Structure 1
Amino acid sequence: MSDLFVGRDRELADLPELLWRRRLVSLVGPAGVGKTRLAAETAHRVRAAYPGGVWWVDLSSIRRGWLIGPAVSGAVGQGNAGRDVKQVVADAVEAGAFLLVMDNCEHLLDDAAAIITELRGAAPQMRILTTSREALHAPGESIMPLWPLPSTKGYGKAARGADAVRLFAARAGDVQPGFDTDAWVGVITDICDRLDGLPLAIEFAARQSDIFTPAQLLPRLAERLVFLTERGTQDLHASLRSAIQWSYDLLSETAKAVFARLCILPGGFDEHTAAALTDDLELTREKLWKLLTDLVRKSMVAIHPSQSGRFRILESLRAFGQEALTNSKQLEATQIRLADWLVSYEHRLAENPWGDQLTALVNQMAIELDNVRYGLDAMAKLDHPHHATLVLLLSRLLTIGPELSEANRLLGEVVTSPDATAVDRASAGAMMAINAGRLGDPEGALRLAHDAADLAQPLNDLDVVTAAQTSVMVALGLNYDVAGGLMVGAGLIDRLRLTNRPGALGRVLNLQAWLLSASGDIDGAYRAITEAISIHEALADQTAPMSVRFANEWATGMLQTGAQLAILRGDDVTATEYMTTILTTRIYHHNAVVGALACAAVLAAREGDNERALLLAAGAIRWGHQNDYFRDTQLEAVIRTARHAVGSAKAQIATKLGRTLTISQLKIYTLTNALPASNEQHEVLTAREHQVALQVARGLTNAQIAMRLAISQRTVASHLARIRSKLDLNSRVEVALWTELTRPGKRDEQA
């Protein structure tokens, strides 16, 4: 094994002082995270600070608690064999403070904690460092959790200096001298991410570099438990599988069953998901929660870093758990339990919930998106009837985003499937119709909508009929048959008013408002959207802020319609309130966000901020779906007026900048006036190119720039040519305008 220790700079800096202050420190983390290596490196670095020496005790081969004492005595010296360990440490402390490292304590927690307590009483100058996959819970214990190395995805060439990549490069260099990290940095980043930044797994992978290139290694990680081993070694860390097996064997049988079931979930889980997958174990809620928290303490399960109340399992541990589930012949049954649970959500969503009920359902499923995908794939392989229903659920989640092609492909399979029920085929057809309209195929939308309506009509299911008829409303509107769409909507509204279906009524009123606006009846549209919003609000918690009350796709869609109508009525205050809510709510509804950007462009133009209006209009047009009445009419007017006000050169720069921004950047700009820093926005520009562009914006000639930057005029000209090419700018003037618009000072002035 290489002597080079890579990374963990913060821990290496903090550990010596922590040991001196707290006397007992435990490094705690999952299998393969590098606890032993960090302990060894720390012991090596602090050796000079401990005149009594550094003692190392490996407990991995010890199976009885009473053997810990003799192991500690033996670590001090062979002459201490048979002596009482407390006397051994009491004698040893006479030479000065010393450090005792106890490695791999997880299988002897209580015994290790007990003897540590005794030893600390006998030798106050002793410092103890332990490694364990679970805290010892000894008196005075200070825990330093160790996490996998952070992801470097998206860092480009800068990933070369990241700990995970450096570790891979170091270990690859051990077996392949001259290994070219720079040539493979992108693939190495992918490898490290696939391995969750787990140091042991990264080392095993890198040590295959004498046989495989990184590109050849990457696909082999699908079989990581077979592939990632240390050749010629038989110890605890001889393979990724053996390292995980050690932790797994310490679990109770019930904990093993719970852990294995949860390992099918690529998207993590909360207690509700866990309960659905383990209901056959007949665990009470309290018992299940205790098992989950115990698994966290044992480093088999991790708390999700960004989602409160949610857990995740590292991919290497998931692979092990799925293998255990397969071996116990529980995989298929667990997959069906997951599908049963997900299908229950689709059934509830199909009943047109509204208000907080819709928000709760949508937000739960949005979090479970990766698990929905897994369940769908599993049911497809099993040829299970749940497959079609899960297609509908996944498609609901996908169609609120910007990418519709996957949803339409899946829905098309349901529409044409002879095994799908009429309800599923009608529902799938209705979704496909709306998506076709968004993708710019109004004729296809109308055909699909009518087919869905024909399927739904004889079903005597008002929820399915409503879904199909609302798709007809949308399709007619997109084909400029606004009157036809309004007629269908009026009939639905009359029918729904006679039933207790507030969610269905709210949906239809929202679409009716859109059609009334297109027909020019702004007052009628305003009354319809006001009623739809009031129905939603009646079923929402009024003590919560708007961004929480409207955190579902239908609610944000209503606010988009409301904002557009407020603008048409000259109510900019309401338009701004609705727009801000859409952009700050945690649910991402692509159409609503693009609509909010369009509203922001109109409001900016009204305030005379024409460059901002052009930027936002360009962003909304770039990211928006086709056939949006408000965008087509309002934005075209904004663009004409703003271009005339600022001139063609500035208009072109603002438009180009708007087209380069991501949705996230456009949202931030709309809310704060903050543009991304130029080096974030255009990573293709080098530092020198940024310098040249700034001097151009200051009005300097090539000769003046060359003198100021100590380069030749020819080099300045070459930089300018590359800048224009990279940013798609046509002239020196455009470079100056671009730099002026994006410079930090300009953003500060705007803010």
Structure 2
Amino acid sequence: MATTKSAASVRGALPAELTTFVGRRRELSETRRLLASSRMLTLTGVGGVGKTRLALRMAAEVRRSFPDGVWFVELAALHDPQLVPHTVANTLELRQVSADPASDLAAYLESRRLLIVLDNCEHLTDACAMLASKLLAAAPGLRILATSRHVLGVEGEQILTVPPLSTPAAEVEAGDAAHYESVRLFLDRAAAVAPDFEVGDGNRDAVVELCRRLDGVPLAIELAAVWLRTLSPVQILNRLEDRFRLLTSGRSAAPRHQALDATVGWSYELCSPAEQVLWARLSVFSGGFDLEAAEEVCSGEGIPTADVLNLIASLVNKSIVIRIQATSHTTAWYQMLETIRQYGEERLGEGEKQELVVRHRNHYRSLAERYAAEGFGSHQADWYIRLRREHGNLRAALELALDDPADAAAAFDIAAPLWNFWFAGFLREGYRYLIRAIELAAEPTRARAHGLWAASYLALIAGDLDRTDTMLAEAAELAERFDDDLLRARVAELRGHTVLYRGDLPAAIALLEEARTRFRALGEPLGEFDTLVLLAAATFFLEDPRDGDFSQQALALTEQYGATSSKAYALWCVGVSSWRVGEYDRAVENLRECVRLFQPLHDLTGIGFGVQALSWCGASISPDERAARLLGASHAVWRTSGAKIDETSPYSQVEKGLQEAVAGTIGAAAFERAFTEGASYSFDEAVALALGEGDGGSPQSGRSAGRAGAEAPGGLTRREQEIAGLLAEGLTNREIAARLVIAQRTAETHVDHILSKLGMTSRAQVAAWVAEQQDR
């Protein structure tokens, strides 16, 4: 499956289609009908029948019907049922902060209209069913489209069994063969691998019979078509017939199962012995792999490292492995369809599989170690993107370590060095892995000590301050036991960070200066940089003029090492320092650059800090409704990031003062309306507003940049358009609140905002306006 990318015109995330979509007109129509009449639809069928492709095409066709997006959640590489809610939340760009992510998701979705596609649910049936039931009960605007080989059993679930593609019943006339979907698919894939191939009198019967024998199963047909590079349709048919005889002589199975088993098995037999071995070994990867990983994990015992590249190339040519193009920040990436991967896994002996998963775990342990060593440098952005791509493999390696208490300490070596990767977007997940390791591997080791520190850091950002103190105290004890200077420096830094959050700024500065001295003595630039950022923040809150010096030193350090991702945090320091002394234009410039540097990395926590500071600038430049809206949008970004800024922290105190100032200027009612609107924005809309996109880049503009491209006549947001329609139906505020599952006060605020924007004084006027817009 291709990596996901968001469509430019609508919210959501759908994988790019790598090949053309053929046929399925009836199934698309039926899927659309069922999805319109029910809120939960599961596409079932055998492996390789095309459930995922059908779901993706359907999602692409209906995405404009869902103002809050269509989101594709790939579950094939996930093995821990407890991570299903986390995975859905991460896909929806909601980084949860509580221990109950399903409830957080339910609360987040309750007033939204969106479609979630849950793909490959069969191995997580119970977890998917429980989550789907909870979300559907809480969010009346939610639709779920699932693909699974098994029914999920959710109340109200509609089932559509995806059939094979249509096949000819017998011999067909010359012009009729391509009327059948299976034949059209074969010809389409044939054109891709053998452009000069044509159907004629000499091979038409073989092509038709081939599609019939493969029972119209798309994956089977695609695997067979690949061999047109070297074989004729007659030769392919003859060899498949031998495979069918082997299958039917050994056991009975449904024709569709036989078709896929025959084609996959035949493809396997046509591979060289070395290709077969590599196919099986590659099945150990979860979600894909790069060449480096394949060489390290799969070489040896008959496959020299130097041969792995050519063998992968051969498997790509046979469509066993799918190649994803490299980008400016990545190397080539390889994947196998789940059915193909499972076939390879079945070829592994138990002992061989155990050896491979251990090698896999050790590779990702080494990868985490390299990241820790190279993460503050010129390839910093590449590392963040690489780790996101390797997320499934990191999970698999951690799960293997945590499955056996005797091996749980290995999880520290993987999860702890990745602390700032978890911080940037998978906060709760990384915290969970570290806590599990701490509970299982209780022996006081150096690895546990660094795991405690990393867990303490994530606990602080997640708002779990009590647990931060407990784990940090143990980490400090172990730092002394092992005479670990790096850990001493990290403990001092985190103690300073914790004290800063609690508002004791002088004590925070003393601890952070101690930590900086230690990091400099060790030659640890990342640690020194982090303490400089925190020193800049602490002195900023104290209105201590040293904040400018600390900010510039942090910026200089990132430029010295080429650490462009960390540069974004340095620009935050420079920005807020400029804001404090009234240099608003400079502050806005630096803070917007900060956010833009974070965006390609999808560092939601960093973006949260940047947008929050831009909201401070907006409130100072012009305390109007746009400023109030931007202050609310800052909360929308924090909600998505999963980081939690305690209400008593200096950050919150600054924001509270600015909110009061803006409310005092425009009035409490106007402030609440605008703030509520901003807080209801999507992540993308909130960020766009902060960046001034769509409003000429002017921080003084009172118009919502984030909504500019999607506003209806009258400047109404999507939610206001929806409520205007309900007003036109004659619903009261209480009825609107019940229909949309929102608070009555929120409904009243939206209604007031609609009347204000449209310059109207009555609901009847709104109803007439809605009717006029519909006529237009």
TM-score by length of 2: 0.60
Q: Which moved more, 1:602-611 or 1:634-643?
A: 602-611
Partner of 2:706: 674
* Match among 417, 422, 427 for residue 398 of structure 1: 422
Q: Within 2, Cα distance between the matches of 1:532 and 1:355?
A: 14
* Match among 569, 575, 582 for residue 563 of structure 1: 575
Question: Compared with structure 1, are the counterparts of its residues 718 and 617 closer, same or farther at alpha carbon in structure 2 (3 Å cutoff)?
Answer: closer
- Size of the alignment, in residue pairs? 543
Q: Secondary structure at the match of 2:309?
A: helix
Question: Compared with structure 1, are the counterparts of its residues 729 and 369 closer, same or farther at alpha carbon in structure 2 (3 Å cutoff)?
Answer: same
Question: Compared with structure 1, are the counterparts of its residues 298 and 133 closer, same or farther at alpha carbon in structure 2 (3 Å cutoff)?
Answer: farther
Q: Within 2, Cα distance between the matches of 1:423 and 1:742?
A: 65
**C-alpha displacement at 1:529, in angstroms?**
2.4
Whether the 8 Å CA contact 1:559–1:582 is kept in 2: the answer is: no
**C-alpha displacement at 1:45, in angstroms?**
10
Partner of 2:194: none
Question: Compared with structure 1, are the counterparts of its residues 56 and 568 closer, same or farther at alpha carbon in structure 2 (3 Å cutoff)?
Answer: closer
- Is 1:506 aligned to residue 529 of structure 2? yes
**C-alpha displacement at 1:509, in angstroms?**
1.8
**C-alpha displacement at 1:557, in angstroms?**
3.5
- CA shift digits 1:221-253 (9 cap, x unpaired): xxxxx9xxxx97565752654443232222222
- CA shift digits 1:345-386 (9 cap, x unpaired): 333344584222444434322321221111111122344242
Aligned residue identity for 1:560: W
Whether the 8 Å CA contact 2:594–2:610 is kept in 1: the answer is: no
**C-alpha displacement at 1:388, in angstroms?**
3.0
Q: Which runs of 5 or more structure 1 residues have no equivalent in the other structure?
A: 1-7, 15-29, 60-71, 77-84, 90-97, 106-128, 142-225, 541-548, 694-704, 706-714, 746-751
* Match among 606, 609, 627 for residue 613 of structure 1: 627
1:492-531 → structure 2 map (5 Å cutoff): 492-521=515-544, 523-531=545-553
Aligned residue identity for 2:753: L
Question: Compared with structure 1, are the counterparts of its residues 570 and 718 closer, same or farther at alpha carbon in structure 2 (3 Å cutoff)?
Answer: closer
Partner of 1:735: 751
Question: Compared with structure 1, are the counterparts of its residues 658 and 394 closer, same or farther at alpha carbon in structure 2 (3 Å cutoff)?
Answer: same
1:646-685 → structure 2 map (5 Å cutoff): 646-671=666-691, 672=693, 673-675=705-707, 677=710
Q: Within 2, Cα distance between the matches of 1:476 and 1:131?
A: 61
1:258-337 → structure 2 map (5 Å cutoff): 258-280=278-300, 287-304=307-324, 309-325=332-348, 327=349, 329-337=351-359
Partner of 1:122: none
1:437-586 → structure 2 map (5 Å cutoff): 437-521=460-544, 523-540=545-562, 550-551=564-565, 554-571=566-583, 572-584=585-597, 585-586=599-600
- CA shift digits 1:184-220 (9 cap, x unpaired): xxxxxxxxxxxxxxxxxxxxxxxxxxxxxxxxxxxxx
Partner of 1:203: none
1:425-444 → structure 2 map (5 Å cutoff): 425-444=448-467
**C-alpha displacement at 1:507, in angstroms?**
2.1
Q: Within 1, Cα distance between the matches of 2:618 and 2:262?
A: 62
Q: Within 2, Cα distance between the matches of 1:527 and 1:421?
A: 40
**C-alpha displacement at 1:527, in angstroms?**
1.2
Aligned residue identity for 1:477: L
**C-alpha displacement at 1:598, in angstroms?**
0.7
Q: Within 2, Cα distance between the matches of 1:377 and 1:331?
A: 15
Question: Compared with structure 1, are the counterparts of its residues 346 and 265 closer, same or farther at alpha carbon in structure 2 (3 Å cutoff)?
Answer: same
Q: Within 1, Cα distance between the matches of 2:173 and 2:459?
A: 67
Whether the 8 Å CA contact 1:345–1:361 is kept in 2: the answer is: no
Q: Within 1, Cα distance between the matches of 2:676 and 2:512?
A: 40
Over aligned residue pairs, what C-alpha RMSD do you find?
4.7
Question: Compared with structure 1, are the counterparts of its residues 586 and 420 closer, same or farther at alpha carbon in structure 2 (3 Å cutoff)?
Answer: farther
Partner of 1:423: 446
- Is 1:627 aligned to residue 646 of structure 2? yes
Partner of 1:176: none
Aligned residue identity for 1:674: G
Whether the 8 Å CA contact 1:352–1:463 is kept in 2: the answer is: no
Whether the 8 Å CA contact 2:472–2:491 is kept in 1: the answer is: yes
**C-alpha displacement at 1:532, in angstroms?**
1.9
Q: Within 1, Cα distance between the matches of 2:502 and 2:717?
A: 40
Q: Secondary structure at the match of 1:599?
A: helix
Partner of 1:603: 617
Question: Compared with structure 1, are the counterparts of its residues 252 and 102 closer, same or farther at alpha carbon in structure 2 (3 Å cutoff)?
Answer: farther
- Is 1:370 aligned to residue 462 of structure 2? no
1:166-181 → structure 2 map (5 Å cutoff): none
Aligned residue identity for 2:622: G
Q: Secondary structure at the match of 1:330?
A: helix
Q: Within 2, Cα distance between the matches of 1:517 and 1:38?
A: 65
Whether the 8 Å CA contact 1:260–1:324 is kept in 2: the answer is: yes
Q: Percent identity at matched positions?
A: 15
Whether the 8 Å CA contact 2:283–2:345 is kept in 1: the answer is: yes
Question: Compared with structure 1, are the counterparts of its residues 616 and 55 closer, same or farther at alpha carbon in structure 2 (3 Å cutoff)?
Answer: closer
- CA shift digits 1:267-317 (9 cap, x unpaired): 222212222221325756663223223222222222348976222222222
**C-alpha displacement at 1:338, in angstroms?**
1.4
Question: Compared with structure 1, are the counterparts of its residues 724 and 416 closer, same or farther at alpha carbon in structure 2 (3 Å cutoff)?
Answer: closer
**C-alpha displacement at 1:130, in angstroms?**
9.5
Q: Within 2, Cα distance between the matches of 1:54 and 1:582?
A: 48
Aligned residue identity for 1:246: W
Partner of 1:343: 365
Q: Within 1, Cα distance between the matches of 2:513 and 2:587?
A: 27
Q: Within 2, Cα distance between the matches of 1:470 and 1:742?
A: 53
Question: Compared with structure 1, are the counterparts of its residues 9 and 359 closer, same or farther at alpha carbon in structure 2 (3 Å cutoff)?
Answer: closer
Partner of 2:207: 101
Q: Secondary structure at the match of 1:717?
A: coil
**C-alpha displacement at 1:658, in angstroms?**
2.5
Larger RCO of the pair (alpha carbons < 8 Å, separation 6+) = 2
Aligned residue identity for 1:368: E
Whether the 8 Å CA contact 1:427–1:467 is kept in 2: the answer is: no
**C-alpha displacement at 1:718, in angstroms?**
5.4
- CA shift digits 1:29-49 (9 cap, x unpaired): x96559996684799999557
Whether the 8 Å CA contact 2:501–2:650 is kept in 1: the answer is: no
Q: Secondary structure at the match of 2:319?
A: coil
- CA shift digits 1:103-127 (9 cap, x unpaired): 659xxxxxxxxxxxxxxxxxxxxxx
Q: Which moved more, 1:329-338 or 1:40-49?
A: 40-49
Partner of 1:701: none
Q: Which moved more, 1:232-241 or 1:428-437?
A: 232-241
**C-alpha displacement at 1:431, in angstroms?**
2.2
Aligned residue identity for 1:369: H
1:692-707 → structure 2 map (5 Å cutoff): 692-693=726-727
Whether the 8 Å CA contact 1:598–1:620 is kept in 2: the answer is: yes
* Match among 725, 734, 740 for residue 691 of structure 1: 725
Q: Rg bigger for which structure?
A: 1
Q: Secondary structure at the match of 2:207?
A: strand
Whether the 8 Å CA contact 1:427–1:468 is kept in 2: the answer is: no
Question: Compared with structure 1, are the counterparts of its residues 719 and 626 closer, same or farther at alpha carbon in structure 2 (3 Å cutoff)?
Answer: closer
Question: Compared with structure 1, are the counterparts of its residues 518 and 560 closer, same or farther at alpha carbon in structure 2 (3 Å cutoff)?
Answer: same
Partner of 1:386: 410
